[in-house]
Structure 1
Amino acid sequence: MTTGVRRRMGVEERRQQLIGVALELFSHRSPDEVSIDEIAAAAGISRPLVYHYFPGKQSLYEAALRRAADELAARFQEPHEGPLGARLLRVMSRFFGFVDEHGPGFFALMRGGPAVGSSTTNAMIDEVRQAAYEQILDHLGVGEPSARLALVVRSWVSLAESTALLWLDGREIPRPELELKLVHDFAALMAVSAAYDPETASLVLRILADEPSDGPFGELAGRLALLEPLLPVVPGPRAATG
């Protein structure tokens, strides 16, 4: 008969274990509702030992958010292969996968939780938004966006965030439908901007040239075509007179 011996963890290994345990607990309940005692019990150590690795719940909370922020930012990374619509749909699938798995944790990350207003938490949130913004520009093949294009991309990143937060309150709309809708929202924002900005219009035409008719953007065009008979006839812009 052998007796199991608990392996002693190194300092960094134990810290990472505690961060993982805290993130798992925060994924199911608001961080405000999770105590140090619960984290210690889930990690199989004593409460004083938790404080040996983290000076308080706030520091452990911020460390867990750091890991969540890094993982969330990574969800926007996507190989530059294939049509843009399909790429964005895969990004949205991974993004909502994170939201679905870490509901309360995602809400805490994007709304601050017990660290609301702290410079550390705000910086993490800004990093996630900036990473998403830069990834989308990279997929568009744009290094220095115009003010109008930058506004479109940042608006869409903000829309994805706010949509996810609203969806968490009940999950009333099927996830795949919402993921596809956000890709369509991106196309709509780009199209509206293209109507005002020749540079964005040129970019939209380049993107559409590579889009298949059965892709997300092609599906949107088909849905809009069904509405055409119901739309009022709008006169075009008047020609300038001398």
Structure 2
Amino acid sequence: MTTGVRRRMGVEERRQQLIGVALELFSHRSPDEVSIDEIAAAAGISRPLVYHYFPGKQSLYEAALRRAADELAARFLEPHQGPLGARLLRVMGRFFDFVEEHGPGFSALMRGGPAVGSSTTHAMIDGVRQAAYEQIIAHLGIADPPARLELVVRSWVSLAESTALIWLDGRRVPRAELELQLVHDFAALGAVSAAYDAEMASILLAMLADEPADGPFGDLVGRLLALAPAVTSGAGAHVPAQRLR
């Protein structure tokens, strides 16, 4: 008869194990609700041993958030091939995969969780947003983005984040619809900006040049054209006479 012997972990290996255990627990419940005792039990070690690797729950929480932030930023990585609309739709699919897998942890990361006010946590959140921004700019192939384009992309990243947080609270809208809607939102933000600025108009036209009719951006155009008759007739009824001349 052989007896199993528990392998002794090295310091870094044990730290990574504890981070993984904590992140898994934070994925199902708010970090505020998870105790060091629970983390120790899930890792199969004693509470004092957790403190040997991390000085407190806050430091373990921040380490878990760092791993989550790195993973979330990686969800925006996408090969620069094919129509932009399809690329963004795949990015949104991976983004919502993360949101769904790590609901409470995602909320904690974006809202600050028990680390509200922590400069470390704020830096992690800003890092995720900056990584997402840089990836989108890279997909557009623009080395020196103008101010209006930066505003569009950063606004869209913020919109995706807030949409996901709202969706987690009840999931009342089908996820696939939200993913497509967010891709449409990107085009819509660009179109509104293009209406005010010639440089943005040229960027938008270049962005749409290779988009297929059955792609996400083509779908948006079709939906808007279907609305156009009702919108124009309704608007015409309310436009002052002097504006119709």
TM tier relative to shorter chain: over 0.9
Identical counterparts, % of pairs = 83
Task: Tell me which residue corresponds to 2:117.
Answer: 117
Distance 1:98 1:161 in 2: 12
The amino acid across from 1:214 in the alignment is D
Which residue number in structure 2 is paired with residue 159 of structure 1?
Answer: 159
CA–CA distance in structure 2, aligned partners of residues 218 and 232 of structure 1? 21
- C-alpha distance in 1 between matches for 2:187 and 2:159: 13
**Does structure 1 residue 169 correspond to structure 2 residue 155?**
no
Task: Name the counterpart of 1:78.
Answer: 78
C-alpha distance in structure 2 between counterparts of 1:228 and 1:8, whole Å: 68
- Matched ranges for 1:198-213 at <5 A: 198-213=198-213
The Cα of 1:229 is off from its aligned counterpart by 1.2
Q: Which residue of 2 aligns with 1:183?
A: 183
Matched positions, count: 236
* Residue in 1 that maps onto 2:47: 47
In 2: Cα distance, 1:160 partner to 1:143 partner: 23
1:232 Cα offset (Å): 2.3
> Is 1:225 paired with 2:225?
yes
Q: Give, in whole Å, the separation in 2 of the partners of 1:136 and 1:194.
A: 17
- Secondary structure, in 3 states, of the residue corresponding to 2:232? coil
Q: What is the CA–CA distance in structure 1 between the aligned matches of 2:17 and 2:229, rounded to whole Å?
A: 60
Question: What is the aligned partner in structure 2 of residue 136 from structure 1?
Answer: 136
Offset at 1:231?
Answer: 1.5
Stretch deviating more after TM superposition (194-203 or 100-109): 194-203
Give the corresponding residue for 1:98.
98
Letter in 1 for 2:18: L
Please state if 1:23 is matched with 2:42.
Answer: no
Name the aligned partner's letter for residue 168 of structure 2. Answer: L
Report the Cα distance in structure 1 between the residues aligned to 2:117 and 2:132, rounded to whole angstroms. 22
C-alpha distance in structure 2 between counterparts of 1:171 and 1:218, whole Å: 27
The separation in 2 between residues aligned to 1:108 and 1:142, in whole angstroms, is 33
Alpha-carbon offset, residue 18 of structure 1: 0.1
The aligned amino acid for 2:87 is R
TM-score (norm: length of structure 1): 0.96
Cα distance in 1 for partners of 2:75, 2:141 equals 19
What root-mean-square deviation, in Å, do the aligned CA atoms of Structure 1 and Structure 2 show? 1.2
CA distance in 2, matches of 1:106, 1:166: 12
Q: What CA distance in whole angstroms lies between the structure 2 residues aligned with 1:118 and 1:208?
A: 41
1:5 alignment counterpart: 5
Q: How far apart in 2 are the matches of 1:20 and 1:181?
A: 33
Q: Distance in 1 between matches of 2:86 and 2:69?
A: 24
Deviates more, 1:140-149 or 1:64-73: 140-149
TM-score (norm 2): 0.95
1:97-117 deviation digits (Å, cap 9, x = unpaired): 000000000000000000001
What corresponds to 1:147 in structure 2?
147
TM-superposed deviation, 1:144: 1.1
User: Quick one: distance in 1 between partners of 2:217 and 2:61?
Assistant: 40
Residues in 1 aligned to 2:152 and 2:206: alpha-carbon distance in whole angstroms: 17
Deviations 1:109-160 (Å, cap 9, x if unpaired)?
0000000011000000000000000100000111111111110000000000
- The Cα shift of 1:225 comes to 1.0
- Distance (Å, rounded) in 1 between the aligned partners of 2:231 and 2:47: 65
Which runs of 4 or more aligned residues in structure 1 lie more than 2 Å from their structure 2 counterparts after TM superposition?
Answer: 232-235
In structure 2, distance between residues paired with 1:208 and 1:61: 43
What's the secondary structure of 1:3's corresponding residue? coil
Bigger Cα displacement from structure 2, 72-81 vs 202-211: 202-211
